[in-house]
Structure 1
Amino acid sequence: MRTRRVRGLAVTGVLLVTTTWGCAAAGSSGSSDGPAPAPSEASTSIATPTARGTVPPARRTGAVRPEPPAAATLPSGRTVRISPVGTTPAGFLAVPEDIDVAGWWRGGSRLGDPFGSILVAAHVDSSTQGLGPFAELLTVDRGTRIRITSAGLQQVFQVKSRTLVPQGSLADDSWIFDVAGPVRLTLVTCAPPYDASRGGYQNLAVVTAVPLGAPEAS
């Protein structure tokens, strides 16, 4: 089993190499169990996992040829485009600035892989674009479904948990990005409270969903 040292996730950019997370300034304060936050004064940021040096891809096995996810249909029925992302020179996950587009970490698992985390992150809001689709993750219910599609595959996942992860070390949260273990979908965005004096959002909302069946041809 491989593990990675992670810095953090930021909806503007996600840091993947050291051991601290951070949401950059963006959005209003509030609880993840309450309504979505109001648009922020700055773009949201999430930090995700990176490894030292090149991140080795997950080992690919099985009859299905894995593919990068291309879109997610959220429980509300809204579809969000997904783009593959790497890391910035500073080690942050390069989440798309467009709040209507999510970033799939290409160092993680793909749709059709038999194990590991399919990690997808997006901004929760923006001072110029308002609330993003991933804002609904702050109140998503267990048992609801999310459909992931790629160029030639589709698979339905059922929400298992919604967890708040505070800024700081991810040493105990490697399940968010690890390519080992059961296959799961991991969706991440910034979460309240928002404190400008402390750098912005103080938490990440991490939604974990498990497959309801095998991937099928789309």
Structure 2
Amino acid sequence: MVLALTGACADGDRQGTPSASTRPDDGVRSLDARPAERAGPPAAERPVSVRLPSGTVVPVRAAGTRGRGLLDVPDDVTEAGWWRTGARLGDPFGSTLIAGHVDAVDQGLGSFAELLAVREGQRLRVRSRGLEQTFAIRSRELVLRSRLRDATRIYSVRGPRRLTLVTCAPPYLADRGGYQNLAVVTAVPVGPPHARSRA
């Protein structure tokens, strides 16, 4: 499955920490006299996996575009591709777009086939190397593949923070290039991203 996409992304924030010093004249350790600095949000990172409502964990690879702006999704139907010019985990706004195959002739059903039956309110968990964040499904809709370019909310880095999962959807018409629709699942953050649990 390939998707036609365009866009850009913002850089993450940096944070500072106070430092300690030792006065050589009396050996007393004290904090610098600078005002305290508030810790900023965690630096944004690319997603490395998404946990679907069923509990299936899908590895996520970075995906670029090729000729005519088509997004390369991993060939393996158990993996998904994150559009690397979209929002990252930890970004304050925009869509994190992750796409995967619904099936393949030589591999059977893909992990993202589950998206065809998800319901509002179900939870998804996205992880990066150091962060994780939970999202709640807000909507599931069908979009004509031929109209994806016009559906900018799917991939735009502007607007509210959201997770967008995409896979192919029926009908399948071989003489018209395969699946005619895309199932687009939009989810919103349940809370802010936090340090990833190692469990």
Which range, TM-score by smaller chain?
A: 0.7 to 0.9
When you count helix as a share of all residues, which structure comes out higher? 2
Summarize the Cα distance change of 1:170–1:127 in structure 2 as closer, same or farther, 3 Å threshold: closer
Q: Judging by fraction of residues, say which structure has more strand.
A: 2
Residue 182 of structure 1 aligns with which residue? 160
- Alignment match, 1:138: 116
Partner of 1:105: 83
Matches within 5 A, 1:124-203: 124-170=102-148, 172-203=150-181
- Deviations 1:71-102, CA, capped at 9 Å, x for gaps: 00000000000000101134210110000110
Provide runs of 4+ in structure 1 moved above 4 Å. none
The one-letter code matched in structure 2 to 1:56 is A
2:10 maps to a residue whose letter is: A
> Bigger radius of gyration, 1 or 2?
2
Aligned pair 1:14/2:3, yes or no? yes
Amino acid at match of 1:64: P
Q: Give the 5 Å matches for 1:57-72.
A: 57-61=9-13, 63-72=41-50
Tell me how far apart the structure 2 counterparts of residues 86 and 168 of structure 1 sit (CA, whole Å).
Answer: 20
Alpha-carbon distance in 1 for matches of 2:182, 2:41: 35
State percent identity of aligned pairs.
55
RMSD: 1.3
Question: Number of paired residues?
Answer: 170
State the alpha-carbon separation in 2 of the partners of residues 85 and 74 from structure 1. Answer: 20
Deviations 1:132-174 (A, max 9, x none): 0100100101100000001000000000000100132345411
Describe the SS at the equivalent of 2:183.
Answer: strand
Q: Does 1:123 align with 2:101?
A: yes
Normalising by structure 2, we get a TM-score of 0.82
